[in-house]
Structure 1
């Protein structure tokens, strides 16, 4: 299943934010910042990635519902999305 960039704009914003946060984590390590500060920022990056992943899956599910629940391809897409969802959980 392909999803267009417009429908994933929220996920892209989250991913760009996570990219910036990850750069911050790298800089913190290079600057020898305190371990607890590095871990707190790394946890924020992880949450941002999780939220982006869930947004992508939710968008895919919406697309499946719009395309019709009875089609064989929609059933396959839903099964794939379920596996992806479980990989994030």
Structure 2
């Protein structure tokens, strides 16, 4: 199944996550700090299980951001596409299915 290429080059000023952008960015900055902490842990020869625990926490945090973005996409981009016309809606459904398949491989 093929879908149209991403419309990021033709993007409108606001994305589906625009209302939650500050929240997503705050989480991503926190995750960035977690990853820097992981680097320090390995550099400091911390206990393997402690490092793995922190990796799990950072991974879970990233998955939560992904779920938030997915929710925003469904509620904004997909919903608007379905309302616009059937062909556009079908394209967004196909895009959503591909995104879900990627996310479930985590």
Q: Sort the TM-score into its range (normalised by shorter chain).
A: 0.7 to 0.9
TM-score, L = length of structure 2: 0.71
Contact 2:24 2:65 in 1 (8 A): yes
Where in structure 1 are there 5+ consecutive unaligned residues?
A: none
Moved over 3 A (4+): none
After TM superposition, the structure 1 = structure 2 runs for residues 59-74 of structure 1, keeping only pairs within 5 Å, are 59-63=72-76, 64-65=78-79, 67-70=80-83, 71=85, 72-74=87-89
Cα deviation, residue 58, structure 1: 1.0
Judging changes above 3 Å, is the alpha-carbon distance between structure 1 residues 68 and 76 closer, same or farther for their aligned structure 2 residues? closer
Q: Deviations over 1:57-89 (max 9, x none)?
A: 111101121x15252223212221221122112
Q: Larger Cα Rg: Structure 1 or Structure 2? A: 2
TM-score, L = length of structure 1: 0.83
Cα RMSD (Å): 1.9
> Whose helix fraction is larger, Structure 1's or Structure 2's?
1
Which residue pairs with 1:7 in the alignment? 19
Q: Which residue, out of 20, 28, 44, partners 1:31?
A: 44
Where in structure 2 are there 5+ consecutive unaligned residues?
A: 1-6
